[in-house]
Structure 1
Amino acid sequence: MPVQRFMPTEEAADLIELTRDIADKELLPKAAAYEREGRFPREVFTGLGEAGLLGLPYPEQYGGGEQPYEVYLQVLEEIAARWSAVAVGVSVHALSCFAVANFGTDEQREQWLPDMLGGQLLGAYCLSEPHAGSDPAAMITRAVRDGDEYAVSGAKAWTTHGGQADYYTTMARTSDDRTRGISCFSVLADTSGLSADKPEDKMGLMSSTTATMRFDSARVPASRLIGEEGQGLQIALAALDSGRLGIAACATGLAQGALDAAIAYARERTTFGRKIIDHQGLGFLLADMEAAVTSARATYLSAARLKDAGRPYSKEASIAKLVATDNAMRVTTDAVQVLGGAGYTKDFPVERYMREAKVMQIFEGTNQIQRLVISRHLAG
């Protein structure tokens, strides 16, 4: 059953219908096999770019959709309800475009953004390091100026699209100042000295390649510095607020997919002469799942509307990420329970949904970090 949505414009409503059509015809039929085989769906991202779905929150001038975040996030949710790994990839790609779109020069935007937003170039985001995930100011990857280039050395962990992306939005230290000594670069995949480790063997999101990227005196032209030297942490933290909303939408879509599967099963399965959805114990469980998904959606949309209005939304982004991902973990676990023994088998998708939900409580800042962010806002 399609989610009932209030869209701010007729164009936005048409965009949701387009997304549902593509997701049902192009994504849903492929998801299970690609996840089972751990196959990276590059052609899917190319297709989404051609359909105009990769650059929705960015300006039309550079090939984007110039849609409010309220609309973009609901598109992301619709994708996640069919194939969460692709939705996460779209969110990460949008995050990789953020630095150029908001801090790049006019020349950089005109030269790079059209291919980024159109799907010809797929991006990745290199911020976390093996020893510095939740504390980006502790990074040690270093970029040393050498004439018209920077020599970048270090390792970036947990890179979504690692080894598959065409460019990597990378944070590296250009001075020893903890917070003002980090700079941002857009590093091309074929850069000499850049390589990817073997992909991580994860418990979920198998079609989403995650790898550590190695920089061994990688030669990055100075023209690929985004913003000014020392502005990297500011860029990264601003991007993370947007990225957390993206993950909140992905988690909500994943939970919606699990809920839909649970309802469909409960309407067909019978015990004691009745469909199991008509048994109060199970009906109430489904009602709680519906309430969790609906509240998660309302929470991320509230934060998105603040962003669209140009108001501060950092606290609300953390709340949305926290609520949506915790709810997704609970809803997907309950979906397995609704299906009983069948839910514990790979004959049904809910066991995969449960595995995929777990990482959403971890990336884009663990939910413990979200609580830290929220509590600091409350402390003033």
Structure 2
Amino acid sequence: MNPQDFLDVDRDLSDEERAIRDTVRDYSTAELLPHVADWYDAGTIPDPRGLARGLGKLGVFGMHLSGYGCAGTNAVSYGLACRELEAVDSGLRSFVSVQGSLAMTAIHRYGTEEQKSEWLPRMATGEALGCFGLTEPDSGSDPGSMRTRARRDGGDWVLDGTKMWITNGSVADCAVVWAATDEGIRGFLVPTSAPGFSANIIHKKLSLRASITSELVLDGVRLPADALLPGAQGLKAPLSCLSEARYGIVWGVAGAARACLLAAIDYSRARVQFDRPIASFQLTQRKIADMLVDVNQAMLTALHIGRLKDAGQAQHAHISFGKLANVRAAQRVAATSRGIHGANGITLEYPVMRHMLNLETVATYEGTEEVHALTLGRAATGLDAFR
């Protein structure tokens, strides 16, 4: 039986969905997997523009959006792409997720026709890169407390503030920045070439190292009136984009968990101790059985939420359920797989500790475990425990 799809979850995929899965898997295995350990070791992506062009040709940027050069696939197809990318590395799925589910979705959903036409076709091909500026040094789980401000000055807007933990921030051409105004929280398209805008790369990360993470500084950045995303009013706008990105995580971490399970099976069959493969020992088989259950339950959860999303029935609490459950499962699988690998598990010759450390970041960003637990608690009881 196939351990990576023990319950034959993928039998419910359409021919088109299978084709997308296989295309992204083949590309990721051939073009990304051979390099990702070196990128992780170096703590960066050496050629983000080249990576973007390749992924643009693959068609994964904004693939769930329609028009403007986007593929217009269904939610399950996008989820499958996230699964196959994160099976290689969480940083690569984040690269695609920030571009498509955050920056492009914000423009597609809330921008003017001129903004969409200017940015989306180039972002879909990877010619232009975007980032999403919501989180701040003192504002993470409570984005409504942001300190970045935008004030009117004649016909212009002037932005001041700092954004933190911004994927692709230092390589982006356009930043979608959320700021507090006298009219509430609004979104702005900020060209990164604008005077007063700077991006500082965050170094010394121990997780998500095959990714570029930055601090954005806005020091009197002056923007014309048409930089405003007119359809985005209030905190619900950026949170709706985050929900799109979280959906990709639900699928992505299932891919990371699958990679760790397969690595553990291969290693335990080849590793001989006491004159027999360690896979033949009861304790090892129990660990593999637990991992097998976690991986396949995570894939079932992802597929079901994807079908709900395609039917227009997925609520944000469903996405919270998926992120909470699947990230937790993936962390268990990665840690167990690392243990099966013994001392070899801490090296980059094997993917397991890289995935294990990456999942520490994935568990934190776009909603911590505590935030999603409270979201589910509110959905179940009808009572809000956030404040």
Instruction: Give the structure-2-normalised TM-score.
Output: 0.92
Cα offset for 1:326? 1.1
Tell me if structure 2 keeps the 8 A contact 1:170–1:186.
Answer: yes
Of 255, 258, 264, the residue aligned with 2:257 is 255
The 3-state SS of whatever aligns with 2:220 is: strand
The 3-state SS of whatever aligns with 2:221 is: strand
Q: How does 1:45-194 map to 2 (within 5 A)?
A: 45-59=52-66, 61-94=67-100, 95-175=102-182, 181-194=184-197
User: Any runs of at least 4 consecutive aligned residues in structure 1 with deviations exceeding 6 A, and if so which?
Assistant: none
In the other structure, the counterpart of 1:365 is 367
Q: Distance in 2 between matches of 1:187 and 1:342?
A: 45
Q: Distance in 2 between matches of 1:347 and 1:79?
A: 19
Q: Distance in 2 between matches of 1:206 and 1:104?
A: 32
The 3-state SS of whatever aligns with 1:192 is: coil
What are structure 2's unaligned runs of at least 5 residues?
A: 383-387
Tell me if structure 1 keeps the 8 A contact 2:150–2:157.
Answer: yes
RMSD of the TM alignment (CA)? 1.7
Tell me if structure 2 keeps the 8 A contact 1:7–1:71.
Answer: no
Q: Distance in 2 between matches of 1:288 and 1:22?
A: 30
Cα offset for 1:155? 0.4
- Give the aligned residue type for 1:256: R
Cα offset for 1:90? 0.8
Tell me if structure 2 keeps the 8 A contact 1:85–1:205.
Answer: yes
Deviations 1:44-66 (A, max 9, x none): 1221112212121011x211111
Deviations 1:247-271 (A, max 9, x none): 2222221111111111110111122
Q: Distance in 2 between matches of 1:304 and 1:347?
A: 34
Q: Distance in 2 between matches of 1:28 and 1:161?
A: 20
Summarize the Cα distance change of 1:232–1:359 in structure 2 as closer, same or farther, 3 Å threshold: same
Summarize the Cα distance change of 1:228–1:25 in structure 2 as closer, same or farther, 3 Å threshold: closer
Of 342, 345, 355, the residue aligned with 1:343 is 345
In the other structure, the counterpart of 1:303 is 305
Matched, 1:286 2:263: no
Tell me if structure 1 keeps the 8 A contact 2:69–2:124.
Answer: yes
In the other structure, the counterpart of 1:39 is 44
Q: Distance in 1 between matches of 2:266 and 2:118?
A: 48
Tell me if structure 1 keeps the 8 A contact 2:24–2:81.
Answer: yes
Matched, 1:354 2:361: no
Identity of aligned residues (%): 34
Summarize the Cα distance change of 1:28–1:277 in structure 2 as closer, same or farther, 3 Å threshold: same
Instruction: Give the structure-1-normalised TM-score.
Output: 0.94
The 3-state SS of whatever aligns with 1:6 is: helix
The 3-state SS of whatever aligns with 1:227 is: strand
In the other structure, the counterpart of 2:385 is none
Deviations 1:211-236 (A, max 9, x none): 2100001112221211247x041211
Summarize the Cα distance change of 1:76–1:7 in structure 2 as closer, same or farther, 3 Å threshold: farther
Deviations 1:175-194 (A, max 9, x none): 1xxxx600011111111111
The 3-state SS of whatever aligns with 1:197 is: strand
Tell me if structure 2 keeps the 8 A contact 1:183–1:228.
Answer: no
- Give the aligned residue type for 1:20: R
- Give the aligned residue type for 2:265: I
The 3-state SS of whatever aligns with 2:210 is: coil
Cα offset for 1:312? 4.0
Tell me if structure 1 keeps the 8 A contact 2:43–2:205.
Answer: no
In the other structure, the counterpart of 2:213 is 210
- Give the aligned residue type for 2:198: S
Q: Distance in 2 between matches of 1:163 and 1:341?
A: 36
Cα offset for 1:14? 1.5
Tell me if structure 2 keeps the 8 A contact 1:200–1:209.
Answer: no
Compare 349-358 and 284-293 and name the one that shifted more: 349-358
Summarize the Cα distance change of 1:328–1:197 in structure 2 as closer, same or farther, 3 Å threshold: same
Matched, 1:29 2:34: yes
Tell me if structure 2 keeps the 8 A contact 1:124–1:167.
Answer: yes
The number of equivalent residue pairs is: 374
The 3-state SS of whatever aligns with 2:287 is: helix
Tell me if structure 1 keeps the 8 A contact 2:90–2:359.
Answer: no
Q: Distance in 1 between matches of 2:222 and 2:249?
A: 32
Q: Distance in 2 between matches of 1:83 and 1:377?
A: 32
Cα offset for 1:7? 5.5
Structure with more contact order per residue of length (Cα contacts < 8 Å, sep ≥ 6): 2
